[in-house]
């Protein structure tokens, strides 16, 4: 047994023991596991490496924290209720179209930021009351939001994993739009109908009308929506006019949240911020723990062991290895999986069309955001609909995830033929 | 005292202690390595002399000027474009410490992306330093990051749009100096740094520019020279000589649709003839095993040996690895052969220098037990 395998097993055992035996938080278990991994690997307690690893997710942590503050503000200001009532009122007669539109709305922030978290915490939280009012159960609503989030992150125009994978072999991010659209939009419509249509088709406006909270709309009128429009405009403006500096997602959310303080019900900002940060603190801790964990894996050679083991499978099994290893590694980070495994797998499939293959691998990498312990899309989707256990969301999304993988592999297999017919 | 307050205080104290220790360590790596220029260096300048906007920032960097006794052409050597590619950095330092120009002028920037030397990439587990035994005793050299320090330029946009071409890349590439050429005087700090390099080339009338890189062994462009179309005839003549010297080197034309890189933009926007060279560096690869200073200097890695057997690599890889002498030797021999080809093609402005070890001396003739730093150290002061 190689030393790397021993280190890996020690890390897994300590992590599992911390979580399940000692009932420690996931983040603390990851810290312990990292320390043990370093000790077994003969590195002592490398404080610098442990701390450096946690810095991987500084930007993500800021996005999550500020997005949650924004979400709480628009919830408390009445904007969410107002928007839900408006959408249902306008589109209740055509439930299938309504569901597809809702899916596109959920995907939108992901499409322009490349982040499933942004999609789930913003548009997901806005659309969840609509879906629930339409009769879609909480669990299915969370599944729609989670899958919408990860498909939004992959859908064009912005797909960070594809950029990372392409950058690994110097493919510029050009010509990805159509392959990404083919990969994502059919799945998005399929999944939203799979999860929601059987409930939404029975929608009766007369029954749900009394449940709609129309008061914020009546009381504040159009201005209640301003923070939502502000967020959308600030996210889009730099993409449409690149000369305008990118404010960055955290600042976009904070500016929009500040606007929200003046457009609806009065809000106790201190209390709202505290609640928001409290609700995401465990996830932020996990992200830091994961950063530490992967730094130690890299330092000790465990990462190399995993990557070389994955790519050493026979050719036919490469598809299976990719389908399993990339989402599994995505438990650490979907971007990390795209970089560490996505690039070697793209090189293994060099005989295929590179752009389409990179796009399809990025789709598989997106599933990392549904993989525990990070499972950002799953955790936040459960949180925005008010579910206590996010694992139910993950279980329910297994079938869509398998469909997604099959679709991605199919596209890779037929990528030369597809490339020949694409403009 | 309330039990919760005691627990919280202990946790806070522990966190502050860790932050203090690691923060001090982080600040220490900002201190630049001590270089010991040899007699060939006739003056030192700063990159900010060519573009004052970067003075006092982490983008500023020392430019070593080596003037020959006879006039001739002008050559620029860019080392440390990526601070995690040590052969480019060390080749530039070897030039500064051992080289002596006879004809023409050579400008050497060992830390082209100075900011990249002031931090390491999270999750990469990279060493902060590697040590080489030199003539003057053991010397530490910084191992940094491919990109500029986020503390100097933050936050990254979601998508990096290359200003001159509109090309889109992932946001973190905004801090990669070799994606920001030709640079902008009013751009990001990294764009300003690349603009300063361009200004140097224009102001000094640099004829020939080398950008020294390393690549992971699984990267297709490796043990290669990438040449702008204007430099292609020099590159092909030089490569012929390299192959005669037993150095396998492929020649790649600079892609016209990949923007921001020296070999494309310096050729398009200045009169210099740009060439970029790549050697094999396991310590920056995705497939590597245990990551430490030994890996940086020896390139010995069992994961790469396995990957080679699986057919995933673009360079031969066995248990002997790719020691730093081989990688620095390739760069130095490459500069020598290409500059010789330049001098032959432009006899009115030749560039002639001496004092540097050949590939044969540095690598092929070395005692195998001295590979991995000791042999290279013989040419460092």
- Per-residue pLDDT, averaged over B244-251, amounts to 91
For chains A and B, what is the number of CB pairs under 8 angstroms?
A: 134
| A-interface mutation test, from B162, B290, B299, B315, most A Cβ less than 10 A away | B290
- Given the cut 0.90, state whether the ipTM is greater than it: yes
A394-422 average pLDDT score: 94
Structure confidence at residue A61 (pLDDT):
84
Q: Indicate if the alpha-carbon torsion angle A224, A94, A378, A307 is positive or negative.
A: negative
Neighboring chain A residues of B291 at a CB cutoff of 8 Å:
298-299, 301
Do B161 and A242 make contact, defined as CB atoms within 8 angstroms? Answer: yes
Residue of B25, B155, B290 lying closest to A48 (CB–CB): B25
Q: Where are the beta strands (DSSP E) in A133-218?
A: none
Mean pLDDT, to the nearest integer, of A4-24? 90
Residue B362 has pLDDT above 90, yes or no: yes
Report CA Rg, chain A.
Answer: 22
Cis peptide bond upstream of B245, omega within 30: no
Mean pLDDT of all residues in A175-180:
90
**A121 and A21 part of one domain:** no
**Are B156 and A174 in contact (CB < 8 Å)?**
no
Extract the runs of DSSP E, i.e. beta strands, from B27-180. Answer: 43-46, 62-67, 70-78, 100-109, 129-134, 137-142, 159-161, 168-170
Do residue A250 and residue A314 come from a single domain? yes
Asked if the model's pLDDT at residue A293 lies above 90, the reply is: no
Size of chain A in residues:
423
- Select from A53, A172, A347 the Cβ nearest to the Cβ of B312: A347
pLDDT in tens, A225-262: 999 899 889 888 877 787 777 788 889 989 999 999 99
| Domain interval for residue A305 | 46-421
Mean pLDDT of A305-327: 85
Measured between alpha carbons, how far is residue A104 from residues A153, A379, B224, B304 in Å?
Answer: 12, 20, 46, 44
Reported as a single tens digit per residue, the pLDDT across B20-42 is 999 999 999 999 999 999 999 99
Looking at residue B1, its pLDDT comes to 65
- Best mean pLDDT range from A204-213, A320-329, B208-217: B208-217
Q: Provide φ and ψ at B102, rounded to 5°.
A: -100, -45
Q: Name beta bridge partners: B76.
A: B107, B209
**Digit-coded pLDDT (tens) for B256-267:** 989 999 999 999
Q: Give contacts of A312 with chain B, Cβ < 8 Å.
A: 306, 310
User: Do residues A158 and A181 share a domain?
Assistant: yes
Q: For residues A104 and A143, state if they share a domain.
A: yes
| Interchain pair A291, B122: CB under 8 A | yes
Is B28 in the A-facing interface, judged by CB distances under 8 Å?
Answer: no
A28 vs B: CB within 8 A? no
| Interface contact flag, A163 B221, Cβ < 8 Å | no
Kindly tell me if the per-residue pLDDT of A270 is higher than 70.
yes
Question: What was the pLDDT predicted at A177?
Answer: 86
Q: Is the pLDDT of residue A381 over 80?
A: yes
pLDDT at A414: 94
Give the other-Cβ count within 10 Å of B21's Cβ. 13
Burial class of residue B220, CB neighbours in 10 A (0-12, 13-18, 19+): middle
Using only the alpha carbons of chain B, give its radius of gyration.
Answer: 21
State which residue of chain B sits closest to A62, comparing Cα positions. B155
Inform me whether the C-beta atom of residue A315 falls under 8 Å from chain B C-beta atoms: no
Q: Which residue has the higher pLDDT, A60 or B301?
A: B301
Predicted pLDDT of residue A269? 92
Instruction: Residue B306: list chain A partners with CB under 8 A.
Output: 308, 312
Same domain? A4 vs A51: no
Q: How far is CA A27 from the centre of its chain?
A: 19
Do A165 and A64 lie in one domain? The reply is yes
User: Quick one: pLDDT at residue B50?
Assistant: 98
Question: Are A163 and A244 contained in the same domain?
Answer: yes
Return d(Cα B186, Cα B208) in angstroms, integer.
26
Looking at the 3D structure of chain A, how many domains does it have? 2
Q: Where are the alpha helices (DSSP H) in B346-379?
A: 359, 374-377
Question: Burial level of A386, CB count in 10 A (0-12/13-18/19+)?
Answer: exposed
Q: How close, in Å, is residue A396 to chain B by CA atoms? A: 31
From A228's Cα to the closest Cα of chain B, the distance in A is: 20
Residue that is written with structure tokens 């990118």 in the block: A246
Are A35 and A71 in the same domain? no
Distance (Å) of CA A190 to CA A185, A197, A395: 8, 10, 18
CA-based max dimension of chain A: 69
Asked if the model's pLDDT at residue A1 lies above 90, the reply is: no
* pLDDT reported for residue B284: 94
How confident is residue A212, by pLDDT bands cut at 50, 70 and 90? confident
Say what the pLDDT of residue A262 is. Answer: 95
User: Is residue B357 predicted with pLDDT exceeding 90?
Assistant: yes
Residue A373 above 90 pLDDT? no
3-state secondary structure of B139: strand
Residues A19 and A156 in one domain: no
Enumerate the residues of chain A whose CB falls inside 8 A of the CB of residue B158: 112-115, 158, 160, 246, 249
> Is B158 in Cβ contact with A308 (below 8 Å)?
no
- Quote the pLDDT of residue A329: 81
Residues A41 and A184 placed together within one structural domain of the fold: no
Lowest mean pLDDT among A143-157, A245-259, B352-366: A245-259
Is residue A27 predicted with pLDDT exceeding 90? no
Could you say which residues from 326 to 355 on chain A have a Cβ atom under 8 Å away from some Cβ of chain B?
336, 339-340, 343-344, 347-348
The residue that leads in pLDDT, A200 or B191, is B191
- Percent of chain A at pLDDT exceeding 90: 46
The bridge status of strand B168-170 relative to strand B62-67 is unpaired
A93 shares a domain with A3: no
Mutation for B interface: A109, A252, A303, most B CBs within 10 A: A303
Class of CATH domain B32-377:
alpha beta
- Please report, to the nearest 10 degrees, the dihedral formed by the alpha carbons of residues B337, B340, B345, B350 taken in order: 150
Residues A1 and A75 in one domain: no
Q: How far apart are CA A329 and CA A371, in angstroms?
A: 9
């Amino acid at each position: 047994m190689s030393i790397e395998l021993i280190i890996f097993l020690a890390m897994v055992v300590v992590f599992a023991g911390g979580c399940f035996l000692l009932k420690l938080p996931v983040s603390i278990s990851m810290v312990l596991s990292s320390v043990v991994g370093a000790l077994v690997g003969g590195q002592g307690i490398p404080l610098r490496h442990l701390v450096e690893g946690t810095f991987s997710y500084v930007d993500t942590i800021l996005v999550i924290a500020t997005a949650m503050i924004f979400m709480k503000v628009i919830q408390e200001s009445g904007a969410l209720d107002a928007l839900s009532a408006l959408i249902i009122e306008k589109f209740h007669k055509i439930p299938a179209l309504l569901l597809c539109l809702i899916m596109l709305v959920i995907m939108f922030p992901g499409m322009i930021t490349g982040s499933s978290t942004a999609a789930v915490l913003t548009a997901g939280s806005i659309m969840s009351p609509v879906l629930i009012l339409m009769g879609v159960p909480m669990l299915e609503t969370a599944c729609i939001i989670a899958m919408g989030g990860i498909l939004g992150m992959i859908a064009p125009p912005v797909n960070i994993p594809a950029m990372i994978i392409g950058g690994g072999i110097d493919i510029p991010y050009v010509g990805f739009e159509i392959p990404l659209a083919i990969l994502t939009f059919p799945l998005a419509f399929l999944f939203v109908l799979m999860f929601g249509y059987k409930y939404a088709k029975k929608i009766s406006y007369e029954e749900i009308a009394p449940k709609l909270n129309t008061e914020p709309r009546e009381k504040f009128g159009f201005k209640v929506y301003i923070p939502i429009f502000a967020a959308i405009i600030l996210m889009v403006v730099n993409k449409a006019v690149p000369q305008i500096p990118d404010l960055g997602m955290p600042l976009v959310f904070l500016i929009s949240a500040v606007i929200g303080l003046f457009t609806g019900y009065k809000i106790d900002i201190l209390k709202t911020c505290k609640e928001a940060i409290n609700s995401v603190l465990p996830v932020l801790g996990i992200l830091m723990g994961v950063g530490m964990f992967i730094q130690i894996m890299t330092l000790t050679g465990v990462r190399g062991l995993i990557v070389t083991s994955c790519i050493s499978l026979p050719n036919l099994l490469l598809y299976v290895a990719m389908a399993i290893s990339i989402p599994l590694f995505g438990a650490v980070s979907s971007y990390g999986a795209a970089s560490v495994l996505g690039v070697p797998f793209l090189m293994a499939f060099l005989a295929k069309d590179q752009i389409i293959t990179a796009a399809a691998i990025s789709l598989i990498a997106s599933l990392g955001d549904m993989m525990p312990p990070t499972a950002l899309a799953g955790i936040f989707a459960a949180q925005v609909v008010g579910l206590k256990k996010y694992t139910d969301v993950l279980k329910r999304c297994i079938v869509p995830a398998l469909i997604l993988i099959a679709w991605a592999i199919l596209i890779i297999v037929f990528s030369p033929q597809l490339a020949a017919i694409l403009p | 005292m309330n039990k919760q307050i005691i627990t919280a205080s202990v946790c806070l104290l522990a966190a502050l202690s860790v932050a203090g220790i690691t923060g001090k360590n982080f600040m220490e790596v900002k201190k630049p390595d001590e270089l010991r220029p040899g007699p060939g260096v006739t003056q030192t300048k700063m990159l900010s002399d060519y573009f004052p906007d970067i003075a006092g920032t982490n983008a500023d960097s020392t430019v070593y000027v080596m003037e020959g006794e006879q006039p001739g052409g002008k050559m620029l050597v860019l080392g440390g474009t990526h601070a995690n590619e040590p052969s480019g950095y060390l080749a530039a330092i070897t030039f500064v410490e051992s080289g002596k120009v006879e004809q023409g002028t050579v400008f050497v920037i060992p830390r082209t992306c100075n900011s990249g030397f002031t931090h390491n990439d999270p999750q990469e587990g990279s060493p902060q330093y590697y040590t080489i035994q030199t003539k003057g005793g053991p010397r530490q050299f910084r191992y940094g990051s491919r990109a500029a320090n986020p503390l100097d330029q933050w936050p990254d946009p979601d998508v990096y749009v290359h200003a001159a071409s509109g090309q889109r890349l992932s946001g973190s590439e905004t801090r990669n100096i070799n994606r920001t050429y030709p640079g902008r005087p009013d751009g990001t700090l990294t764009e300003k740094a690349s603009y300063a390099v361009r200004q140097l080339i224009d102001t000094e009338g640099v004829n020939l520019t080398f950008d020294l890189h390393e690549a992971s062994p699984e990267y297709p462009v490796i043990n290669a020279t990438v040449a702008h179309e204007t430099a292609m005839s020099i590159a092909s003549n030089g490569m012929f000589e390299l192959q005669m010297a037993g150095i396998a080197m492929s020649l790649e034309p600079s892609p016209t649709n990949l923007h921001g890189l020296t070999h494309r933009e310096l050729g398009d926007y200045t009169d210099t003839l740009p060439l970029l060279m790549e050697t094999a560096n396991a310590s920056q690869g995705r497939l590597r095993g245990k990551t430490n200073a030994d890996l940086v200097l020896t390139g010995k890695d069992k994961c790469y040996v396995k990957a080679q057997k699986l057919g995933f690599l673009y360079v031969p890889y066995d248990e002997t690895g790719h020691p730093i002498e081989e990688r620095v030797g390739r760069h130095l021999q490459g500069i020598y052969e290409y500059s010789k080809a330049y001098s032959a093609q432009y006899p009115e402005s030749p560039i002639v220098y001496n004092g540097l070890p050949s590939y044969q001396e540095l690598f092929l003739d070395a005692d195998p037990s001295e590979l991995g730093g000791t042999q290279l150290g013989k040419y460092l002061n």
